[in-house]
Structure 1
Amino acid sequence: MNSPSPVEVELKLALPPQQATRFIKLMARRRIPAVEQALLTRYYDTPDFALSEQGIALRVRRIGRRWLQTLKTEGERSGGLSRRAEYEVASGGRTLDWSRFPAEAQARVAEALRAQLVPVFETDFTRTSWLLVGEHGTAIEVALDIGEVRVPKRKDAAAQSQPLCEIELELKSGQPDALFALALDWAAQLDALPLDISKAERGVRLAHRLAAEPVKSLPLVLDKTLSVEAGFAAVCQACLTQFQANLPGVLDADDIEYVHQARVALRRLRAALRLFRRVCEVPPDLLQTLRALVAALGPARDWDVLIKRQRYAVEFFQSLVGGRRLARAQTALRNAQDSLGRSNDAQVANHLLDTTPASARAAAMFVRGWLAALQAEGAPRENEQSVQALLQALRKLKP
């Protein structure tokens, strides 16, 4: 998003595409004029993506008849909030003109790398934006971006694309807390998730064909000069970063490892809070919310373990059983796993919302994603039928 200053402060949220219309209606209630623009953006990097490895994003964007070129640095980010240097200037056209950047921006990329820059991917989306002006001089630009990220066809790979639907809240003036206050106001009405990955990073991953994977905890390196309070904040932030990184997989993926790693992150956070209890007195509501999250993720892991044990039992004795009976048992096992998994997703969501204190419910905005799980009428009957079919198939597995 455009920024008049060298530092951009922005909060990003991932939004399910089917809720875009609902979000637009929410914004319409504020009676603020909306501006709709078509944005086509081309990103530049070296063939081996040397800039992205340094956390630098370089782009040329067309907004209507205007062309802008922008350089963004890695900066700091957490919980969807990012702070980074941003240099944006007018461009003469669709081609990158390095000489237009100020000297400070040019110094961030070595001349040897500039000579290698080529277009590597692009984004094409429609942006609907609103400018919210609040108290104490607060101004926030809210933008809804809907479109896709595209990687062109190459000699060694076919073209790739990935849809995007996200909300960006850019702080024009005021304090960053205003961004979170606005996002939390939407939490009870939208299944939005804090988003730390930028459009540029999506493009890089798509270009490298990198599949999402569960995120494990990383070794934490603390500076000896840090105060105890700063060290406490760094430890807690590391735990929350791991938890947030696994949330999309918890909600959408079939890999139970996402759930496991999310639980690991929460257990580490609870341990940190106990370790530093003399430094920071944690609000009771926050502790209750944390306990509820840990408890809610438990059944998902337990169901997966139970089903896997049954699957292993079938595999152990498959050489003693006829092919058709074995195939029927395996099919019944898969059906039971799918049915119970869907119901468990819904139960996890309801449990999370029911046990989260009212005062802290907005802070658990990511929990709303679970309510999109399949809660079709007749789900209990489907579960019963699938389990009965599994039991019957297992009983017939006789040598």
Structure 2
Amino acid sequence: MEVELKLLLAPEDNDKLLHHPLLDTPARVQQLTARYFDTPDLHLLRHGAGLRVRKVDGEWIQTMKAGGSVQSGLHSRNEWEGPVDRPWPRLGKLRKMVGDDEHWLSMLDVPELKDRLEPLFVVDVQRHSWDVEIGGNRIEVVLDVGHIERKAHKVPVNEIELELKEGDPAGLYAFALQLLDDIPLRISNINKAQRGYMLVRETGNAPFRAQALALEVDAPLSDALPAVLGNCLEQIQRNEIAVIDGHDPETLHQMRVGVRRLRSALKLFDTVAPCPPALQEDINWLGAELGAARDWDVLVSSTLARVDASQMELQSLALQTAHAKRSEAAQALLSPRYTRLMLTMGSWMLQTAPLLNGSAMQFSRQSLQHLHKSLIKRANRMNDSDAASAHRTRIAAKRSRYALEFFHALYRSKGTHTYLKALAAVQEELGQHNDLAVADHLLQELAQQHPQSSGAIQFARGYLLAQQATQAADLNAIRNRLHALRLPHSRH
């Protein structure tokens, strides 16, 4: 199993790495050219594998990487590597290296795979590498500078790889944090093969939604914590590039949802693994940066659409602010604070999880019961004259829904689906009311910044306040539905 941390840096900062005091020996320098192979229908990619042949010091080396996971930039993958006598894969040799792993053997044994393979893209880099021993860990540090090429299209490569040769994976985060003190860095959650496949498929950065989390029924809590938190981090980080480089409001929304899920998960595990205050403060900062931009997106794309369409001046002012907030959110993601947050989060997870005792099932059952009781208590206190009471119920519904989504694999599907569907509906109904309240606050802010447009802004505020009064959620009906809800039964 290969374990490495991937980091991005700007080309103008390469010299800082090349002369960094942590790298106190001369670098080995190699020119590496690798061809990546797959079938026209991308058989290997669809099975989570990548196959390359690379020339190293005059020798052809065949490598297949497959499976594994990525959390906070830490890539853990199965790797099979060995010499071949040509710049083309030798599947017979690869099968021998895979050995008795039936899953990957079956992927390689599909009919006519040998004849269908073709080179799809080339990765050409100059590699500087060092061997570092630090904190009881042996780490290979690599700087790759070059490009990925597919036909006439090229994308640049300028990245650091920290590969753990011996020791504790948390040591990779510790080393990266030391580099971050001197060099602006960003975590990379996609590897060169994935970037090459993006060229092949001509795909952009689509919104990445939370993926279903698979947990074994008998999973220990020590496995559940990194699985749940890693699932949240994946949603955050897989939307990162699209938020920085793109304009799709949905990518920002999905990244913000990922942060909300992460905060909810940390609160869920607080009794057994309290999050360090400084780390929690940084997560709250990230949530605030994304939340400010998302609130303006909602105002522009949804809330103001309910107002008279002739209010073009107001739409234009709100859109300008939404773009400015999006830019601020992007800058936050490019900041050292964000990188430090993700590195620290990854390190804390690795060091905390092994200390946990007990089963995921027992923990989830107790947590869900507690959250359900809290939800009912909040629902009982809802009052039409107190908007905050409905908001608190919505938050409680969201926390219960996220918790069950995290542990859904441990519970019977029918009851789980019913429970999640009901909570999502409650969130939606109470959320519409909250959107209008947030919109009123944003419009007041806009009026202070643009007093010359106060007439149009006050008209919109009045219109939305009237809607809020006439389309209020039926709190009694919501309360009754929540009282009728029953937690799903476990699979045991």
TM-score clears 0.5: yes
Candidates 197, 212, 220, aligned match of 1:219: 212
Secondary structure at the aligned position of 2:89 is classed as coil
Q: CA deviation at 1:264?
A: 0.9
- Aligned 1:207-246 pairs, distance under 5 A: 207-246=200-239
Cα shift readout 1:334-364 (whole Å, capped 9, x = no counterpart): 76665565456557878x95xx9xx979737
User: Structure 1 pair 286/343, CA: closer, same or farther in 2 (3 Å)?
Assistant: closer
Candidates 6, 10, 18, aligned match of 1:16: 10
Cα shift readout 1:218-237 (whole Å, capped 9, x = no counterpart): 22232211123432332222
| CA contact 1:332–1:389 (8 Å) conserved in 2 | no
- Report % sequence identity: 33
Q: Distance in 2 between matches of 1:316 and 1:199?
A: 47
Secondary structure at the aligned position of 2:238 is classed as helix
| CA contact 2:205–2:239 (8 Å) conserved in 1 | no
Q: CA deviation at 1:390?
A: 9.9
Secondary structure at the aligned position of 2:212 is classed as coil
Residue matched to 1:55: 48
Residue matched to 2:197: 204
Residue type at the aligned position of 1:244:
Q
| CA contact 1:13–1:167 (8 Å) conserved in 2 | yes
Q: Establish whether residue 363 from structure 1 lines up as the match of residue 344 from structure 2.
A: yes
| CA contact 2:296–2:318 (8 Å) conserved in 1 | no
Residue matched to 2:33: 40
Q: Distance in 1 between matches of 2:328 and 2:40?
A: 46
Q: Establish whether residue 254 from structure 1 lines up as the match of residue 247 from structure 2.
A: yes
Candidates 23, 34, 43, aligned match of 1:30: 23
The size of the alignment, in residue pairs, is 347
Q: Distance in 1 between matches of 2:73 and 2:342?
A: 18
Q: CA deviation at 1:288?
A: 2.2
| CA contact 1:15–1:191 (8 Å) conserved in 2 | yes
Candidates 169, 174, 181, aligned match of 1:181: 174
Secondary structure at the aligned position of 1:74 is classed as strand
TM-score, with structure 2 as normaliser? 0.61
Secondary structure at the aligned position of 2:295 is classed as helix
Q: Distance in 2 between matches of 1:232 and 1:250?
A: 27
- Aligned 1:101-250 pairs, distance under 5 A: 101=94, 103-105=96-98, 107=105, 109-110=108-109, 112=111, 113-136=113-136, 138-152=137-151, 159-250=152-243
| CA contact 2:72–2:345 (8 Å) conserved in 1 | no
Q: Which runs of 5+ in 1 are unaligned?
A: 1-6, 153-158, 319-325, 366-383
Q: Distance in 1 between matches of 2:170 and 2:334?
A: 27
Candidates 277, 286, 294, aligned match of 1:293: 286
CA RMSD of aligned residues (A): 3.5
Flag the structure with higher helix content. 2
Q: Distance in 2 between matches of 1:105 and 1:349?
A: 40
- Aligned 1:351-390 pairs, distance under 5 A: 353=337, 363=344
Q: Distance in 1 between matches of 2:303 and 2:110?
A: 60
Q: CA deviation at 1:291?
A: 1.8
Q: CA deviation at 1:260?
A: 1.9
Q: Distance in 2 between matches of 1:361 and 1:198?
A: 17
| Stretch moving more, 288-297 or 164-173 | 288-297
Specify the structure having the higher radius of gyration (Cα).
2
User: Structure 1 pair 363/277, CA: closer, same or farther in 2 (3 Å)?
Assistant: closer
Residue type at the aligned position of 1:130:
W
Q: Establish whether residue 284 from structure 1 lines up as the match of residue 277 from structure 2.
A: yes
| CA contact 2:279–2:344 (8 Å) conserved in 1 | no
User: Structure 1 pair 343/290, CA: closer, same or farther in 2 (3 Å)?
Assistant: closer
User: Structure 1 pair 109/282, CA: closer, same or farther in 2 (3 Å)?
Assistant: same
Cα shift readout 1:293-329 (whole Å, capped 9, x = no counterpart): 21222222234345557985999228xxxxxxx8x99
Q: Which runs of 5+ in 2 are unaligned?
A: 100-104, 347-445, 458-492
Q: Distance in 2 between matches of 1:265 and 1:85?
A: 27
| CA contact 2:296–2:321 (8 Å) conserved in 1 | no
